[in-house]
Amino acid sequence: MTPGAARWVTLDELRARRSFKWHAQPPDVLPAFIAEMDVTLAPAVARSLVEAVERGDTGYAFPDPELGTAASGFQGERFGWNPDPSGISLIPDVMSGIGAVLRRALPEGGGVVVNTPVYPPFFDHIAAAGCRVVEAPLARDGSGYALDLDAVEAALRGGARAYLLCNPHNPTGLVHSAAELRRVAGLAERHGALVLSDEIHAPLTLAGARHLPYLSLPEARGRGISLISATKGWNLPGLKCAQLVTASEPMRALAASLSPELRFGASNLGVIASIAAYREGGAWLDELLVLIDRNRRLLGDLLAERLPEIGYTPPRATYLAWLDCSALRLGDDPARVFLERGRVALRSGPDFGRSGAGWVRATMATAPETLREIVERMRRAVDAAR
């Protein structure tokens, strides 16, 4: 194995970690509920952090212009579009950026469209910004899902003021096409709506799919803002660093009107690690994507063998598996049964919206043997519930 190559970490090593994932549950529970990876750090990222700590560089975050340059360079290399670095600003994390923009741009009670089932904190952060969630559920497309842009259009026609697009989509792993994104931009123009494109999972676009940054479409820029971050791709969510991207004067003015205090929620170590990830972490990310690709196939094999009643469409991006457990008849919230009877913690489907009843989300960024153990525990829970 290449020294420093991306590698999954053993359960013994993981139990020594101090993060939420490894302490939120009793020690006999195997956690696979949160979007965090069981992986080693990219060597370039680790080096940047060790050097920063050795310098004692733990002060407040500096909105380093190099962050914008590095983020833009990465976007250009991976996705073929270099945003102007002067339109990239530091925010502590994606969700606080979304909240700050909604608070500033929408009136009290303004409707925000989301495509359910969707990342649960969207609901709370929209409400905390004084806005209202308007669901435009994804359409079922065979065993998988597709964006239902007719439903989005109906919501905007009905008065919703913004569209929070999850691109790629959590929990389904959908990667939106150029034609879909073009239509979104057209709808935003026609209805005067703001589009917030959450692209946090873009670095985790897997073989066979291609991520298109929303703002790479010129027609999207006048009413679009995107939120990007290195924290999912390189597993740095606790380091608090994300970026808000604008590419037009009106959106730049909106970003400039946000409180300058916002950036002080970011961490200096996050800025330093993100610059290292974007600049020097590309080869490591490629290795990681190979490991995740293997796992999305392995999970399909394991489910076919041990729990064939579960519906699973491998994600095109992310390391998340959105699992239809309704045929198992474990009720609306199968995650409770899996936890109580199998001692494996998955994320409850109903948290993702009404259509999540009967589903669970599993994180599969883990060692193959751990993935096997997750499925075994689910099997055990099903047997115990019968």
Ligand X SMILES: Cc1ncc(COP(=O)(O)O)c(C=O)c1O
Give the span between the Cα atoms of 338 and 39, in whole angstroms: 24
Question: What does the block give as tokens for 138?
Answer: 């994804």
Q: Tell the smallest beta-carbon distance from residue 240 to ligand X (Å).
A: 8
Annotate 12-49 with three-state secondary structure.
HHHHCCCCHHHCCCCCCCEECCCCCCCECCCHHHHHHH
Q: Tell the smallest beta-carbon distance from residue 35 to ligand X (Å).
A: 4
Q: Tell the smallest beta-carbon distance from residue 189 to ligand X (Å).
A: 25
Q: Tell the smallest beta-carbon distance from residue 36 to ligand X (Å).
A: 8
Binding to ligand X, residues 35-64 (CB under 6 A): 35
Q: Tell the smallest beta-carbon distance from residue 143 to ligand X (Å).
A: 22
Q: Tell the smallest beta-carbon distance from residue 125 to ligand X (Å).
A: 9
95/188 with CB nearer ligand X: 95
Q: Please report whether residue 114 would count as binding ligand X according to CB under 6 A.
A: no
Question: The tokens 């969630």 sit on which residue?
Answer: 133
Give the span between the Cα atoms of 92 and 126, in whole angstroms: 17
Binding to ligand X, residues 353-382 (CB under 6 A): none
Q: Please report whether residue 170 would count as binding ligand X according to CB under 6 A.
A: yes
Binding to ligand X, residues 223-262 (CB under 6 A): 229, 231, 237, 242
CA 292 from centroid of its chain's CA atoms? 15
90/330 with CB nearer ligand X: 90
Q: Tell the smallest beta-carbon distance from residue 320 to ligand X (Å).
A: 8
x/- track of binding to ligand X for residues 290-329 (CB under 6 A): ----------------------------------------
Q: Which stretch binds ligand X (CB under 6 A): 93-101, 147-155, 309-317, 353-361?
A: 93-101
Q: Which stretch binds ligand X (CB under 6 A): 88-96, 287-295, 352-360, 371-379?
A: 88-96
Q: Please report whether residue 94 would count as binding ligand X according to CB under 6 A.
A: yes
Phi, psi of 76 (to 5 degrees): -65, -50
33/284 with CB nearer ligand X: 33
Q: Please report whether residue 277 would count as binding ligand X according to CB under 6 A.
A: no
Which residue in the set 38, 153, 198, 351 belongs to the binding site for ligand X (CB under 6 A)? Answer: 198
203/237 with CB nearer ligand X: 237
Q: Tell the smallest beta-carbon distance from residue 119 to ligand X (Å).
A: 4
Phi, psi of 3 (to 5 degrees): -60, 135
Total residues in contact with ligand X, by rule CB under 6 A: 13
111/117 with CB nearer ligand X: 117
Which residue in the set 42, 49, 67, 95 belongs to the binding site for ligand X (CB under 6 A)? Answer: 95
167/370 with CB nearer ligand X: 167
Binding site for ligand X (CB under 6 A): 35, 93-95, 119, 166, 170, 198, 200, 229, 231, 237, 242
